[in-house]
C-alpha cells in the first residue's frame, strides 16, 4: 500500500511538475544507485523515510488500519516496530487506539504477509516475480488488450483499504483516466451509496450540520459508532465522546434491530424489524408535522415540497408503524418530540440501512427530518472545522438546489444503470465482465479491496473473476481474490510509508471525519522487511504509466459537493519519480493550512480559527431544498402499498454487523485479533435458538431465495427475535479450499444476495442486509 526519498528540503512544485527520483526499484533516496540519470543530490523534497534507528525509541505516527486515523506511539527496536499504544497527549484522540491499531506490529511481520509480488503460472500456482518484471508484463498485456478491445475493457476497483493511503486512489484514477477508460468502481456503491445520492435529491444547506459533540439531541439509525468508528459519533475515541455527551445531558435516540453499545445509553431505543427504517422515519415526520414541531420560518425561506411530503407520510400513523415495524407507537412519538425539541441536533443513517431495502429513502427521510426541525447551522454560528489539508471551508446560510444523483456519465450495459454521485455501480461490474460484446471488461485491477469477499452475489463474482483476460490485485496476502489473480503486487504497509490525515478529513461532510480542524503527518516509521520487494500502491500505477507512455496528473482535494471549485491539477513528471511528500503537496494545494506547516507537528495538531463563522446568504440566493423529491415520494408510496407481512416463507431476516477487532476482511490472519472469533458467528436471540433446538456453537444452514451458506450460531440476548446478525466479508470463494471451513474462516453473507433481484435501480446495490432467510441445523456439519 501506499516509498519516498530520504533526502532534501524544498519542493519543485512551482512549475506544477513534480520531480523526484528515477523510477526504478528504490526504497529510499540514500539507497539510490547513483549510476542512474539522477542521483540523490538532485532530490529537493522533505525527508519521508525513517531516520537511522537507535536500538529502542518511540516514534509518532497514526494508524491506517481503518479510516479513523488514530494517533499512536510506535516503539521501534533494531528497526522493527514492536508495540503500539495510543498517543495520550493527542488533542482529540486522548490516547485512544483499538485492538487493530495495537496489532500493527503483528500485521507488519505476519508470516502470511506477501513480501514479493506473485504471478500465477499455467498450473494455477503462484510463484514470486520481480515487481519490475511484473509491471513490464502487465503493461504489455493491457496495451495489447486495449488495442484490440478499446480502453473501456479495463476496469479499476478501489476498496476500503486504499482509502487511508492518500496517493493510492488519485494515482490509480489518474492512470485509468489517461488510459481513456471511464470504468472506475469503488466500494461506495456497495456500502453507503445513499450518503451521496440523498443529498443530491434533497439539496444542501451551505451552513452545514451540527456536530455530535455540541448537540442536545442525536439520532442513530442502524449505526453503532463505538464499534464501527463511523457515522454520527466522531471516530476519534467514540466511546469517550458518547460517554461525555450523555454525561452533559445529550438525549440519544437509537433505531437498531440489535441493542447495540450505543443503544444501551439511549434516551429512546427502538428495536424494529429489519428493513423498516423508512417506515419509522416517515412515522416520525408525520408526528412532527401533525404537532407543528417544525421550524416554519426556516422552511418558508429555504425549502419547497412541504405539502407533498405531508401527503406522502399521511399513511404512516403510529398504529401503522407499530404494526409494521414492530416498535411501540408511543416510543416513535416520543422520539419525534425529543428530536424536534432542540435546534442543536442531528441524525445519521448507518451502513446497515443503506444495505437494506430502500437505503436512499432512509437517508432522504433523515435529511428531511433534519430540515423540518431546522437542524442546520445558521448565520453567525461558528464553523467548528473550517478545514486543514483541504481548502478553507466557506459556509453560507443558504440552500442549494438538488442536483442529479444519477443518469450521467458512463452507462452500464445491464439494468439501465448509469454513473451516480456515489460512483459507478460496483454491483454491476461482474455483469460487465461476463456480458460479451462491445465494451466488455477484460482487465480488472483491484487496489485495497477483496472483491471475492466484499462484492455481493459471490457466485457471479467468482464466475466473473475467472472470465477475465487479466486479473491484477494489490494485496498484502493471498486473499480469496489474490488466489484467483494472474498477478499479485505486494505493497508496503502503513508504518513503512509516510502518511497524512487528508483522507479522514475528506469524510467530514458525511459525519465521518473530524469535528475539529485537526491534521497529522507521519514519516515512515520503519523500513520494509529486509530482503523484501514491496512497493507503494501509487508506484505501481506510476510504473504502468511510464511503460505505456501515459501522462499523469492528479487533482488537489477540495471541498466536496456540487458547488466546489474545480480543483487545481498537478502534472506528474514521468521521467523522475516523485516522492510521497511531492504527491501530498500536490493533493493539498490550496489547503487552508499549508502542508509544510502541518508537518511541523508530528504528534498531530488542531489548527483552530474561531473567526470562521457561517456567513450570511447571498442576497440573490434562490436555492431551495426539496422535501418531496418525486423519486423518493414514489418510493415512499410503494412502501405504504406493501403488505405489512412480506416474504412469509422466510422466518428470519439476516442483518449485517461488524466485529470490534477486525475490519471487513482484514485482520482475520492476526492471532491476537481473532482470539474470540476467527469466523463470523450467526448471532441470534436465545429464544430463537431454543425454538430451533440449537445451542451456541452449532452449525446451521442459512438459506435465502438466491443461495445458502453455513454459519455457526451464537446466542445474544441483544438481538431482536426473528433476526440473524452476521458480519460480512468473511469466508472463501465458492468451492475454494477454505470454503467449508466455517470454524476457521466463516462464511460469506454476500453469497445470499443476487445483484439482479431486489436491487436499487440507481446505485445498483442489491439487498445486502435485512435479507429474508431460513435457518436450520446443517445435516452434514463440518467438525468444530
What pLDDT digit, counting tens, does each position of 282-291 carry?
Answer: 999 999 999 9
pLDDT of amino acid 214:
87
Residue 9, pLDDT > 80, answer no
Residue 44, pLDDT > 80, answer no
Contacts of 685 (CB under 8 A, 6+ apart): 715, 716, 717, 719, 720, 721, 722, 723
Share above pLDDT 90 across residues of the chain, in percent, rounded to a whole number: 77
Q: Which region among 133-137, 191-195, 442-446 has the lowest average model confidence (pLDDT)?
A: 191-195
pLDDT level of residue 658 (50, 70, 90 thresholds) = confident
**Maximum C-alpha span of the chain:** 80
On whether the CB atoms of residues 447 and 168 are closer than 8 A, the answer is yes
- Cell numbers describing residue 282: 416517515
pTM for this model (two decimals): 0.91
Spatial distance between the Cα atoms of 733 and 230, rounded to a whole number of angstroms: 28
Residue 254, pLDDT > 90, answer yes
For strands 771-777 and 652-657, give the pairing.
antiparallel
What single string gives the DSSP state of each residue in 450-479? -HHHHSSSHHHHHHHHHH-SEEEEE-SS--
pLDDT of amino acid 737:
78
For strands 71-77 and 56-62, give the pairing.
antiparallel
The residue ranking higher by pLDDT, 731 or 304, is: 304
For strands 80-86 and 71-77, give the pairing.
antiparallel
329-341 helix and 318-325 helix, angle to the nearest 10 degrees: 120
On whether the CB atoms of residues 430 and 155 are closer than 8 A, the answer is no
**Which residue bears the cell 467468482?**
462
630-641 helix and 306-313 helix, angle to the nearest 10 degrees: 10
Residue 105, pLDDT > 50, answer yes
Average pLDDT, integer, range 656-682: 82
Average pLDDT, integer, range 228-240: 82
Average pLDDT, integer, range 77-85: 95
Average pLDDT, integer, range 466-480: 97
- Give SS3 for 596: helix
CA nearest 553: which of 106, 47, 174, 88?
Answer: 174
- Give SS3 for 746: coil
pLDDT tens per residue, range 407-447: 999 999 999 999 999 999 999 999 999 999 999 999 999 99
pLDDT level of residue 567 (50, 70, 90 thresholds) = low
Rg (C-alpha) for the chain, rounded Å, is: 26
Sign of CA dihedral 579, 580, 583, 589: negative
Average pLDDT, integer, range 691-697: 97
Alpha-carbon torsion, ordered 774, 776, 782, 784, to 10 deg: 100
Average pLDDT, integer, range 31-48: 30
Residue 558, pLDDT > 50, answer no
pLDDT of amino acid 50:
54
pLDDT of amino acid 29:
26
Residue 149 phi/psi, 5-degree rounding, is -115, -5
pLDDT of amino acid 677:
85
- Give SS3 for 412: coil
Residue 87, pLDDT > 60, answer yes
pLDDT of amino acid 739:
81
Spatial distance between the Cα atoms of 386 and 90, rounded to a whole number of angstroms: 20
H or E element at residue 752: none
Average pLDDT, integer, range 172-191: 97
**Which residue bears the cell 509516510?**
498
pLDDT level of residue 553 (50, 70, 90 thresholds) = very high
pLDDT level of residue 557 (50, 70, 90 thresholds) = low
On whether the CB atoms of residues 652 and 722 are closer than 8 A, the answer is yes
The residue ranking higher by pLDDT, 732 or 519, is: 519
pLDDT level of residue 54 (50, 70, 90 thresholds) = low
Average pLDDT, the chain: 89
Spatial distance between the Cα atoms of 677 and 106, rounded to a whole number of angstroms: 18
pLDDT level of residue 784 (50, 70, 90 thresholds) = low
pLDDT level of residue 569 (50, 70, 90 thresholds) = confident
What single string gives the DSSP state of each residue in 199-249? HHHH-EETT-PPPGGG-SEEEEES--HHHHS-SSS-SSSHHHHHHHHHHTT
pLDDT level of residue 559 (50, 70, 90 thresholds) = very low
pLDDT tens per residue, range 343-386: 899 999 999 999 999 999 999 999 999 999 999 999 999 999 99
pLDDT of amino acid 782:
56
pLDDT of amino acid 238:
87
CA nearest 336: which of 317, 352, 323?
Answer: 317
Integer CA distances (angstroms), 733 to 467, 482, 651, 663, 748, in order: 15, 11, 27, 18, 8
Average pLDDT, integer, range 538-547: 98
pLDDT of amino acid 610:
86
Integer CA distances (angstroms), 513 to 211, 246, 387, 548, in order: 11, 21, 11, 37
Over 341-405, what HEC string results? HCCCEEEEECHHHHHCCCHHHHHHHHHHHHHHCCCCCCCCCECCCCCCCCECCCCEECEECCCCC
pLDDT tens per residue, range 733-774: 898 878 888 998 999 999 999 999 999 999 999 999 999 999
Spatial distance between the Cα atoms of 418 and 424, rounded to a whole number of angstroms: 7
pLDDT tens per residue, range 582-639: 999 999 999 999 999 999 999 999 999 988 999 999 999 999 999 999 999 999 999 9
On whether the CB atoms of residues 278 and 358 are closer than 8 A, the answer is yes
Average pLDDT, integer, range 78-96: 94
Residue 545 phi/psi, 5-degree rounding, is -60, -40
Contacts of 275 (CB under 8 A, 6+ apart): 356, 357, 653, 769, 770
CA nearest 342: which of 524, 239, 215?
Answer: 215
pLDDT of amino acid 47:
39
**Which residue bears the cell 445458502?**
708
Amino acid at each position: 500500500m501506499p516509498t519516498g526519498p530520504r533526502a532534501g528540503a524544498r519542493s519543485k512544485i512551482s512549475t506544477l511538475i513534480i520531480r523526484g527520483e528515477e523510477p526504478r526499484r528504490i526504497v529510499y533516496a540514500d539507497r539510490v544507485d547513483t549510476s542512474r540519470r539522477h542521483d540523490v543530490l538532485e532530490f529537493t523534497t522533505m525527508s519521508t523515510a525513517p531516520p537511522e534507528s537507535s536500538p529502542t525509541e518511540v516514534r509518532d505516527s497514526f494508524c491506517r488500519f481503518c479510516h479513523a486515523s488514530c494517533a499512536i506511539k510506535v516503539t521501534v527496536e533494531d528497526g522493527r516496530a514492536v508495540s503500539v499504544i495510543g498517543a495520550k497527549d493527542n488533542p482529540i484522540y486522548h490516547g485512544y487506539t483499538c485492538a487493530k491499531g495495537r496489532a500493527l506490529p503483528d500485521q507488519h511481520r505476519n508470516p502470511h504477509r506477501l513480501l514479493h509480488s506473485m504471478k500465477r503460472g499455467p498450473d494455477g500456482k503462484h510463484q514470486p516475480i520481480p515487481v519490475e518484471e511484473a509491471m513490464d508484463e502487465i503493461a504489455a498485456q493491457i496495451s495489447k488488450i486495449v488495442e484490440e478491445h478499446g480502453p473501456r475493457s479495463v476496469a479499476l476497483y478501489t476498496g476500503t483499504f486504499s482509502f487511508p493511503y492518500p496517493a493510492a486512489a488519485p494515482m490509480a484514477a489518474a492512470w485509468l483516466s489517461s488510459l481513456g477508460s471511464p470504468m472506475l468502481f469503488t466500494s461506495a456503491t456497495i456500502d453507503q451509496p445513499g450518503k451521496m445520492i440523498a443529498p443530491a435529491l434533497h439539496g444542501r444547506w451551505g451552513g452545514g450540520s451540527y456536530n455530535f459533540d455540541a448537540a442536545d439531541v442525536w439520532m442513530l439509525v442502524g449505526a453503532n459508532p463505538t464499534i464501527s468508528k463511523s457515522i454520527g459519533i466522531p471516530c476519534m475515541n467514540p466511546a469517550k465522546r458518547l460517554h461525555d455527551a450523555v454525561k452533559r445531558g445529550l438525549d440519544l435516540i437509537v433505531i437498531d434491530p440489535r441493542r447495540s453499545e450505543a443503544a444501551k445509553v439511549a434516551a429512546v431505543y427502538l428495536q424494529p424489524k429489519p428493513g423498516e427504517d423508512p417506515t419509522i422515519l416517515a412515522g416520525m415526520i408525520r408526528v412532527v408535522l401533525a404537532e407543528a414541531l417544525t421550524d416554519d420560518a426556516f422552511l418558508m425561506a429555504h425549502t419547497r415540497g412541504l405539502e407533498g411530503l405531508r401527503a406522502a407520510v399521511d399513511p404512516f400513523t403510529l398504529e401503522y408503524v407499530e404494526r409494521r415495524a414492530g416498535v411501540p407507537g408511543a416510543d416513535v412519538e416520543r422520539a419525534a418530540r425529543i428530536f424536534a425539541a432542540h435546534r442543536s441536533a442531528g441524525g445519521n443513517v448507518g451502513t446497515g440501512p443503506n444495505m437494506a431495502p430502500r437505503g436512499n429513502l432512509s437517508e432522504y427521510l433523515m435529511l428531511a427530518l433534519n430540515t423540518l426541525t431546522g437542524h442546520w447551522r445558521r448565520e453567525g454560528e461558528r464553523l467548528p472545522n473550517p478545514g486543514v489539508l483541504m481548502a478553507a471551508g466557506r459556509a453560507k446560510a443558504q440552500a442549494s438546489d438538488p442536483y442529479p444523483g444519477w443518469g450521467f456519465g458512463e452507462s452500464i450495459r445491464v439494468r439501465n444503470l448509469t454513473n451516480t454521485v456515489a460512483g459507478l455501480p460496483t454491483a454491476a461490474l461482474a455483469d460487465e465482465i461476463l456480458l460479451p460484446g462491445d465494451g466488455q471488461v477484460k482487465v480488472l485491477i483491484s487496489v485495497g479491496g477483496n472483491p471475492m469477499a466484499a462484492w455481493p452475489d459471490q457466485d457471479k463474482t467468482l464466475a466473473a473473476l475467472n472470465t477475465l483476460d487479466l486479473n491484477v490485485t494489490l494485496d498484502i496476502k493471498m486473499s480469496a481474490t489474490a488466489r484467483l489473480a494472474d498477478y499479485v503486487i505486494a505493497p508496503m504497509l502503513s508504518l513503512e510509508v509516510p502518511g497524512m490525515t487528508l483522507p479522514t478529513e475528506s469524510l467530514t461532510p458525511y459525519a465521518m471525519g473530524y469535528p475539529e480542524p485537526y491534521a497529522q503527518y507521519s514519516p515512515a516509521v520503519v523500513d520494509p522487511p529486509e530482503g523484501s520487494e514491496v512497493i507503494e500502491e501509487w508506484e505501481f500505477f506510476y510504473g504502468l504509466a511510464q511503460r505505456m507512455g501515459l501522462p499523469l496528473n492528479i487533482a488537489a482535494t477540495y471541498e466536496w459537493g456540487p458547488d466546489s471549485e474545480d480543483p487545481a491539477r498537478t502534472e506528474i513528471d514521468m521521467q523522475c519519480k516523485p516522492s510521497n511528500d511531492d504527491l501530498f503537496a500536490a493533493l493539498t494545494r490550496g489547503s487552508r493550512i499549508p502542508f509544510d506547516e502541518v508537518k511541523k507537528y508530528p504528534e498531530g495538531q488542531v489548527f483552530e480559527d474561531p473567526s470562521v463563522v457561517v456567513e450570511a446568504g447571498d442576497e440573490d440566493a434562490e436555492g431551495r431544498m426539496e422535501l418531496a423529491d418525486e423519486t423518493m415520494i414514489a418510493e415512499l408510496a410503494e412502501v405504504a402499498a406493501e403488505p405489512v407481512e412480506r416474504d412469509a416463507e422466510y422466518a428470519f431476516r439476516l442483518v449485517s454487523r461488524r466485529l470490534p477487532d477486525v475490519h471487513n476482511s482484514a485482520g482475520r490472519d492476526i492471532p491476537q485479533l481473532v482470539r474470540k472469533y476467527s469466523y463470523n458467528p450467526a448471532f441470534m436471540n436465545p429464544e430463537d435458538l431454543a425454538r430451533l433446538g440449537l445451542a451456541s456453537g452449532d452449525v446451521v444452514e442459512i438459506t435465502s431465495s438466491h443461495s445458502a451458506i453455513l454459519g455457526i450460531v451464537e446466542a445474544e440476548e441483544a438481538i431482536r427475535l426473528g433476526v440473524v446478525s452476521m458480519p460480512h466479508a468473511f469466508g472463501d470463494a465458492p468451492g475454494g479450499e477454505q470454503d467449508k471451513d466455517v470454524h476457521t474462516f466463516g462464511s460469506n453473507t454476500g453469497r445470499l444476495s443476487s445483484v439482479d433481484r431486489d436491487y436499487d435501480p440507481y446505485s445498483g446495490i442489491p439487498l445486502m442486509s435485512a435479507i429474508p432467510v431460513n435457518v436450520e441445523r446443517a445435516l452434514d456439519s463440518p467438525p468444530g
